[in-house]
A and B are shown apart, each in its own frame.
Chain A
Amino acid sequence: GESVGLHLPTLSVQEGDNSIINCAYSNSASDYFIWYKQESGKGPQFIIDIRSNMDKRQGQRVTVLLNKTVKHLSLQIAATQPGDSAVYFCAENIRTALIFGKGTTLSVSS
Chain B
Amino acid sequence: DTEVTQTPKHLVMGMTNKKSLKCEQHMGHRAMYWYKQKAKKPPELMFVYSYEKLSINESVPSRFSPECPNSSLLNLHLHALQPEDSALYLCASSQDRAAGELFFGEGSRLTVL
Residue positions of A touching B, CB distance < 8 A: 2, 32, 34, 36, 41-46, 49, 89, 93, 95-103
B97 touches A96 (CB 8 A): yes
Q: B83 contacts which chain A residues (CB < 8 A)?
A: none
6 tightest Cβ-Cβ pairs between the two chains A and B: A43-B104, A100-B42, A96-B97, A32-B100, A44-B104, A43-B106
Within 8 Å CB of A41, what residues of B?
Answer: 106
> Which of A32, A89, A93, A97 has a CB less than 8 Å from the CB of B56?
A97
Inter-chain CA distance A102–B48, complex, in Å, is 21
Give B26-45 interface residues, CB cut-off 8 Å to A: 33, 40-45
- Cross-chain pair count, CB within 8 angstroms: 52
Residue pair B42, A49 in contact (C-beta under 8 Å): no
Q: List 30 A-B contacts (CB under 8 A).
A: A32-B100, A34-B101, A36-B104, A42-B106, A43-B4, A43-B104, A43-B105, A44-B43, A44-B90, A44-B102, A44-B104, A45-B104, A46-B101, A46-B102, A89-B43, A93-B100, A95-B56, A96-B48, A96-B97, A97-B48, A97-B97, A98-B45, A99-B45, A100-B42, A100-B43, A100-B44, A101-B42, A102-B42, A103-B41, A103-B42
Of all chain B residues, which has the CB nearest A9? B40
Can you name the residue of chain A whose Cβ is closest to the Cβ of B99? Answer: A96
Q: Does B103 contact A (CB under 8 A)?
A: yes
Min distance, Cβ A103 to any Cβ of chain B, angstroms = 5
